[in-house]
């Protein structure tokens, strides 16, 4: 029996996710973005201009995590940030033309990765949608305060 046979499903899932993320990042290196950057550009392309807080929710990460991704993407000219005219504390984030071009290249990489690695399975996608649908709302609730 292989060691993997003894692992829990959650351990298999997190290990697989980490390995896919590494494979993505290796292939995206030439474009100058990470998998997180690709996901962020994709959301901005589909949804349009939004705040960092809304972007974090859409990408299913914490605000601090999206902040680091936004900084990297802005340095590379893939997004721009402008102060919200109504709420000066808030910034509106928009994908740039360079970001659209980087996104198109990343989408080509995604197609080759998914097909090449045999990861495009309808059943796997259905199961992953279920996991995300179940766990994402729990992460978006405010943390309970300890007494």
Q: Using CA of residue 122, residue 44, residue 79, residue 102, what is the dihedral sign?
A: positive
Average pLDDT over residues 3-17: 85
- At residue 37, the pLDDT reads 93
> In the chain, what percentage of residues exceed pLDDT 70?
87
Write down the pTM of the prediction.
0.72
Choice between 93 and 23, residue whose per-residue pLDDT is larger: 93
pLDDT digits (tens, 9 = 90+) for 104-130: 999 988 887 766 555 667 777 788 888
Angle, helices 63-75/35-47, rounded to nearest 10 degrees: 90
What 3-state class would DSSP assign to 95?
strand
Distance between CA atoms of residues 51 and 53, nearest Å? 5
Distance between CA atoms of residues 24 and 46, nearest Å? 21
Domains present along the chain, CATH in parentheses: 9-139 (1.10.10.10)
- At residue 140, the pLDDT reads 60
Strand partners, 50: 93
Instruction: Find out whether 82 and 49 touch, Cβ atoms under 8 Å.
Output: no
Of the listed ranges 17-21, 57-61, 92-96, the one predicted with least confidence = 17-21
């Amino acid at each position: 029996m292989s060691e993997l046979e003894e692992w829990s499903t959650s351990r298999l899932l997190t290990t697989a996710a980490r390995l896919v993320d590494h494979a993505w990042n290796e292939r995206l290196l030439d474009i100058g973005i990470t998998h997180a950057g690709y996901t962020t550009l994709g959301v901005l392309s589909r949804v349009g201009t939004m705040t960092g807080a809304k972007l974090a929710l859409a990408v299913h990460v914490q605000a601090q995590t999206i902040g680091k991704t936004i900084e990297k993407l802005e340095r590379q000219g893939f997004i721009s940030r402008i102060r919200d005219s109504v709420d000066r504390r808030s910034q509106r984030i928009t994908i740039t033309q360079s970001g659209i071009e980087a996104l198109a290249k990343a989408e080509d990489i995604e197609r080759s990765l998914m097909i090449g690695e045999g990861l495009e399975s309808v059943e796997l996608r259905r199961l992953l949608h279920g996991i995300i649908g179940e766990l994402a709302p729990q992460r978006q609730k405010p943390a309970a305060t300890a007494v």
